[in-house]
C-alpha cells in the first residue's frame, strides 16, 4: 500500500510541474458522435432453425471535447442482443509538453499492437484473454520526444467500471469473481515501446505487471504478460505479427493455485488458462475502388493460437478470413470465423482453458454493417 501511495504522490507532483510549464492549447469545443451496427450471422454449432439471423449488434454514444486545454473522450455502448450496456472508455487528457500527453480515467492499456492486433471484426485471440484492445481505470502517459520512438507508461488501479446487468458487463475482458475464487485485478503497471525502423515498419516490446486480489484470503498473486510485435506496411499490404507470454497468477478461496481463471465481458463469463503463450499473425491487402459509394475493399486473413502451460490443456485456435468494405463512414466486415477450443466459436465454458481433445473446428459466417457518425 505504501508503494501505491508513494507512486500516486510522485505522479501528482510530476503532473503539477508539467501543467505549470504546459502551453495553451487549441480553442474549446464539444463534438457528439456515435455508431449503429447490425449483424447477419450463421453458426455451425447451432441447431436453431431460425439461423441465419439478422440482429442489432450495438449502438453507441461518443463525446469529444476540450476546455482550458483539457481534452475529454468518452464512449458508452449498448448491446441489445446481450441486454447489456457499459462504458467503452472515458478519460481526461492534457498535454504536459509537446512530447508528453497524460490520460486520466478509462483508457486503452498500452500493450502489444495498438489500437488492434487484428484486421477483422472478430479481433485476434489475445482480445478474448484481455491482452488486445483492453481498457482499465488509471493514468497513462504517452511520450514522443525521441525520434521514431513512442513510449507509453501507465498505472491502472482497477479494471474499468462494470455496466449492467452484472460484473461481467464490460467491453474488454478482465478476471471476474467465480463461485470458488473471489478475484479482482488490481494495481497494474504497463510499459510499451514502439520504434519506427522506417515509415513502413514498427517494432515493439511491452510489459504488464499487476496483481490478482482474492478478497476471501485478503491476498494477492502476481500477474504478468510480455509481448513483442511487428507491424509492416509494404505497398498495399499490411502485416501484423505478435508473440505474447502471460501468467495470470491467482488462488481460489481455499488458497490453491489456479490453472484457469474466470474472465468476463458483455455480461458473460468463461474460463481461461492461467498461463500460456500466444502467437498472432495477420495479413491484409487494400484495394482502392470507385464502385458507387464504395471506396476501398480490404481482404485479410488473421490467425492466432494459444499454447497452454498445463500439459493436459488443449491449444485454442482462431482463424478469420474476410474483407472490409469501406463506403464513406459505413464499414462492412464480411468474415468466415473459424475456431477450435475457442469460446466464441463453439466451445464456450472451457474452450480457452482445458479445452477438449476431441473438439472440432467450428465456424460462423458473419456480416457486420456499421454506420459511424
pLDDT attached to residue 4: 41
Residue-wise DSSP of 241-264: EEEEEEEE--B-TTSPBPSEEEEE
CB atoms within 10 A of CB 244: 26
Note the Cα 218 to chain centre separation in Å: 28
Q: State the pLDDT confidence band at 53, using cuts at 50, 70 and 90.
A: confident
What pLDDT, on the 0 to 100 scale, is given for residue 52?
72
| Beta-bridge partners for 247 | 224, 275
Whether 49 shows a pLDDT value over 70: the answer reads no
* Nearest CA-CA partner of 359 in 372, 373, 371, 345: 345
Q: For all residues of the chain together, what is the average pLDDT?
A: 93
In the chain, % of residues over pLDDT 90: 89
Give the three-class secondary structure for 342: coil
pLDDT value of position 23:
39
Separation CA 92–CA 19 (nearest Å):
14
Compute the average pLDDT of residues 48-77: 91
| Residue range 2-274 in CATH 2.40.160.10 | yes
Concatenated DSSP letters for 176-194?
---SS--EEEEEEEEEEEE
What is the C-alpha radius of gyration for the chain, rounded to an integer number of angstroms? 21
CA 143 to chain centre: 21
What does the pLDDT look like over 88-105, one tens digit per residue? 999 999 999 999 999 999
Domain boundaries, the chain: 2-274
Cβ neighbours of 38 (radius 10 Å)? 16
**How confident is the model at residue 46, as a pLDDT?**
76
Amino acid at each position: 500500500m505504501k508503494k501505491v501511495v508513494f507512486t500516486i504522490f510522485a505522479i501528482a507532483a510530476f503532473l503539477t510541474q508539467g501543467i505549470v510549464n504546459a502551453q495553451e492549447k487549441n480553442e474549446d469545443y464539444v463534438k457528439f458522435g456515435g455508431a449503429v451496427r447490425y449483424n447477419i450471422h450463421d453458426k455451425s454449432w447451432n441447431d436453431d432453425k431460425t439461423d441465419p439471423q439478422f440482429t442489432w449488434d450495438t449502438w453507441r454514444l461518443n463525446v469529444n471535447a476540450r476546455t482550458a486545454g483539457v481534452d475529454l473522450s468518452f464512449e458508452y455502448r449498448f448491446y441489445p442482443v446481450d441486454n447489456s450496456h457499459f462504458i467503452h472508455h472515458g478519460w481526461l487528457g492534457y498535454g504536459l509538453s509537446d512530447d508528453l500527453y497524460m490520460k486520466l480515467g478509462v483508457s486503452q492499456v498500452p500493450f502489444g499492437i495498438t489500437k488492434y492486433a487484428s484486421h477483422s471484426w472478430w479481433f485476434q485471440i489475445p482480445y478474448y484473454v484481455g491482452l488486445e484492445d483492453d481498457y482499465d481505470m488509471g493514468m497513462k502517459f504517452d511520450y514522443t520526444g525521441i525520434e521514431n520512438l513512442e513510449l507509453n507508461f501507465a498505472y491502472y488501479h482497477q479494471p474499468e467500471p462494470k455496466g449492467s446487468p452484472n460484473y461481467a458487463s464490460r467491453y474488454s475482458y478482465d478476471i471476474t469473481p467465480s463461485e470458488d475464487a473471489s478475484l479482482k485485478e488490481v494495481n497494474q503497471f504497463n510499459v510499451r515501446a514502439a520504434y519506427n525502423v522506417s515509415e513502413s515498419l514498427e517494432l515493439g516490446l511491452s510489459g504488464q505487471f499487476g496483481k490478482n486480489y482474492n478478497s476471501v484470503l485478503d491476498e494477492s498473486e502476481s500477474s504478468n504478460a510480455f509481448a513483442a510485435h511487428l507491424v509492416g506496411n509494404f505497398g498495399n499490404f499490411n502485416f501484423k505479427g505478435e508473440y505474447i507470454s502471460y501468467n495470470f497468477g491467482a488462488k481460489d478461496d481455499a488458497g490453491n493455485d489456479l490453472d484457469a481463471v474466470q474472465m468476463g465481458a458483455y455480461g458473460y463469463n468463461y474460463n481461461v488458462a492461467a498461463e500460456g503463450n500466444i502467437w498472432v499473425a495477420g495479413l491484409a491487402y487494400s484495394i482502392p475502388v470507385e464502385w458507387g459509394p464504395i471506396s476501398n475493399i480490404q481482404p485479410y486473413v488473421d490467425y492466432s493460437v494459444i499454447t497452454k502451460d498445463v500439459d493436459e490443456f488443449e491449444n485454442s485456435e482462431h482463424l478469420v478470413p474476410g474483407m472490409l468494405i469501406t463506403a464513406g463512414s459505413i464499414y462492412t466486415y464480411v468474415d468466415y470465423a473459424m475456431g477450435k477450443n475457442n469460446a466464441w466459436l463453439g466451445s464456450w465454458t472451457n474452450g480457452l482453458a482445458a479445452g477438449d481433445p476431441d473438439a472440432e473446428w467450428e465456424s460462423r459466417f458473419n456480416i457486420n454493417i456499421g454506420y459511424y457518425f
